[in-house]
């Protein structure tokens, strides 16, 4: 008589709230699964185009006003040397954003929800506070960038520009009411403005191609020179944005793909292509900012350029192109406006994901923007435009320090088979992802040590 096999153990949920009694609630309910995806009979191009959009919204964070401050300083002081850092940070961003999209599509959770459903409440509070600090630091850069652009273009005082920047909450509300595709189209339109502005400036700067290519090769100087390393870490902090990992894992779920194994797999593939192409575009924009600064200011007696306003005033005379300065300020305004749109969504996703707390979008936006405006107003009154520029660079360092709080949980989740199932990343990809996380953590320890020392 053969022994009867014991019944299989019931499947154990890998998530604390993965139950029918408490289903997961999307943090953007008004946009969830709202963008139609063509059926299987449609061409691959039409299906791919249905997924185009979230990647470009994420790419906004990789060319926001905070990047401008670090890229301008890096190009003016050290020429093309830090192009290697921009390229490295962009490759890291491509990997991390792909993991973020995979998490959102495979699990139906954004990164904030995943943290809440995995970590104990006390740790979640710490992670939420770190995320909110990152959002405020990012918002700080957007306030400064928008205020400086309005001052350069229209002569408005910095204080007035900072206050006007709070009105962008209504842009987001208007576009979201029209539909998520309208919001994506608005973002992509402003990205096109930035690209055209810098294409003209690079052409006017006439940089040496050989010097640019050498700049993309890593140099030991970046590590041994403390000033260069400080700006390099600032570039990484300005490029790999922690709140973008939360944002991307949520907005990829706006597509109405089949919530089945094959449907999710296809959605992950197209979402990865979308973000990869968009971030390669961001790489060219960031590189263009540094290249223009290096060609115009490095070796010309203007190496001490550290403020966006100074760069604006000197670009036209140095490049010999009257419209160069105007294009620079116009691109800055487009970058600041774009960043406020994605910052609004990221703030909503983080608050609702960690706390399950829903407040009106305009109230959430004005609260975050108010916390960012106060330091700008104080620094402007006490120290003028130079103090604001230093605050802008400091905001990027703060963002860099927040990176491990987003990167480590992300890599932990996507490499966990219990949570990801068939969509878990491969062992080589997990090793590469943990290596990137380790590099980020070590760089942040180095930055913290240098700052305290």
State the number of CA atoms in the 13 A half-sphere of 438 facing the CB: 6
- Structure confidence at residue 393 as a pLDDT band (50, 70, 90): low
Give the whole-angstrom CA distance, residue 193 versus residue 356. Answer: 37
Question: What pLDDT is stored for residue 7 in this prediction?
Answer: 43
pLDDT at 420: 94
What residues contact residue 413 under an 8 Å CB cut-off, 6+ apart?
Answer: 103, 107, 111, 114, 118, 419, 420
Considering 19-33, 53-67, 134-148, 205-219, the range whose residues carry the highest mean pLDDT is 205-219
Rounded-to-integer distance, Cα 378 and Cα 371, Å: 12
The DSSP symbol for 255 reads B
How far is the C-alpha of 354 from the C-alpha of 28, rounded, in Å? 14
Q: Could you tell me the CA-to-CA distances from 110 to 32, 62, 84, 183, 283 in Å, in that order?
A: 12, 20, 31, 20, 25
Which tens digit of pLDDT belongs to each residue from 158-171? 778 877 877 776 77
356: tokens are 């399950």
Residue 71: name the closest of 198, 166, 188, 181 by CA: 198
CB-based contact 381:142 (threshold 8 Å): no
Is residue 95 within 8 Å of residue 410, measured between CB atoms? no
The span from the CA of 6 to the CA of 11, in Å, is: 15
Token pair belonging to 145: 């960038």
Looking at residue 260, the DSSP 8-state letter turns out to be S
- Higher-confidence residue of 200 and 318: namely 200
Using only C-alpha atoms, the chain has a radius of gyration, in whole angstroms, of 22
Tokens 């909503």: give the residue.
Answer: 348
Q: Is the predicted pLDDT of residue 20 greater than 50, yes or no?
A: no
Q: How far is CA 384 from the centre of its chain?
A: 28
Residue 226 confidence (pLDDT):
80
Query: How many percent of the chain have pLDDT more than 70?
Result: 84
Please determine, for residue 223, whether its predicted confidence score (pLDDT) is greater than 60: yes
Burial of 422 (0-12, 13-18, 19+ CB in 10 A): exposed
Find the farthest-apart pair of alpha carbons in the chain and give their distance in angstroms, rounded.
Answer: 96
Per-residue pLDDT at 150 exceeds 70? yes
Which pLDDT score is estimated for 239? Answer: 66
Architecture of domain 45-400: Orthogonal Bundle (1.10)
CB distance 190 to 53 below 8 Å: no
Helix (H) or strand (E) holding 191: helix 180-205
Q: Where are the alpha helices (DSSP H) in 79-120?
A: 83-107, 111-116
pLDDT of res. 365? 63
Q: What is the DSSP letter of 183?
A: H
8 Å CB contact between 50 and 38:
yes
Tell me the β-bridge partners of 35.
Answer: 255
> Of 62, 97, 439, 393, which is closest to residue 234 (Cα–Cα)?
393
All structural domains of the chain with their residue ranges: 45-400
3 state DSSP class of 35: strand
């Amino acid at each position: 008589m053969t022994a009867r096999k014991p019944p299989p153990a019931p499947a154990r949920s890998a998530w604390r709230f993965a139950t029918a009694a408490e289903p997961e609630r999307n943090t953007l309910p008004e946009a969830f699964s709202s963008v139609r995806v063509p059926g299987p009979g449609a061409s691959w191009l039409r299906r791919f185009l249905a997924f185009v959009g979230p990647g470009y919204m994420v790419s906004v964070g990789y060319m926001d006003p905070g990047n401008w401050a670090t890229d301008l300083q890096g190009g003016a002081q050290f020429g093309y040397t830090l192009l290697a850092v921009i390229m490295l940070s962009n490759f890291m961003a491509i990997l991390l954003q792909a993991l973020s999209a995979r998490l959102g599509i495979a699990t139906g959770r954004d990164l904030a929800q995943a943290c809440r459903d995995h970590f104990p409440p006390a740790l979640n509070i710490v992670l939420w506070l770190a995320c909110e600090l990152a959002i405020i630091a990012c918002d700080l850069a957007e306030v400064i960038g928008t205020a400086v652009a309005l001052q350069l273009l229209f002569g408005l005082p910095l204080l007035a520009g900072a206050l006007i920047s709070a009105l962008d909450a209504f842009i987001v509300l208007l576009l979201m009411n029209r539909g998520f595709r309208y919001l994506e189209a608005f973002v992509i339109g402003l990205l096109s403005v930035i690209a055209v502005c810098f294409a003209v400036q690079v052409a006017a700067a006439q940089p040496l191609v050989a010097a640019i290519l050498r700049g993309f090769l890593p140099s030991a100087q970046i590590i041994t020179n403390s000033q260069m390393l400080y700006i390099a870490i600032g570039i990484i902090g300005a490029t790999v944005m922690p709140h973008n990992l939360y944002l991307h894992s949520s907005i990829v779920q706006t597509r109405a793909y089949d919530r089945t194994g094959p449907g999710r797999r296809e959605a992950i593939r197209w979402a990865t292509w979308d973000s990869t192409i968009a971030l390669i575009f961001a790489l060219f924009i960031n590189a263009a900012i540094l290249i223009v600064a290096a060609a115009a200011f490095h070796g010309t007696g203007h190496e001490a350029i550290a403020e966006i306003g100074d760069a604006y005033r000197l670009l036209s005379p140095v490049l010999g192109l009257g419209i160069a300065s105007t294009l620079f300020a116009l691109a800055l305004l487009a970058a600041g406006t774009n960043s406020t749109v994605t910052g609004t969504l990221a703030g909503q996703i983080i608050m609702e994901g960690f706390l399950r707390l829903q407040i009106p979008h305009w109230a959430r936006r004005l609260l975050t923007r108010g916390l960012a405006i106060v330091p700008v107003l104080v620094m402007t009154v006490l120290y003028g435009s130079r103090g604001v520029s230093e605050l802008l660079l400091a905001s990027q360092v703060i963002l860099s320090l927040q990176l491990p709080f987003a990167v480590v949980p992300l890599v932990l989740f996507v490499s966990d088979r219990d949570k990801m199932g068939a969509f878990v990343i491969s062992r080589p990809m997990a090793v590469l992802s943990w290596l990137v996380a380790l590099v980020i953590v070590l760089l942040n320890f180095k930055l913290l040590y240098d700052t305290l020392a």
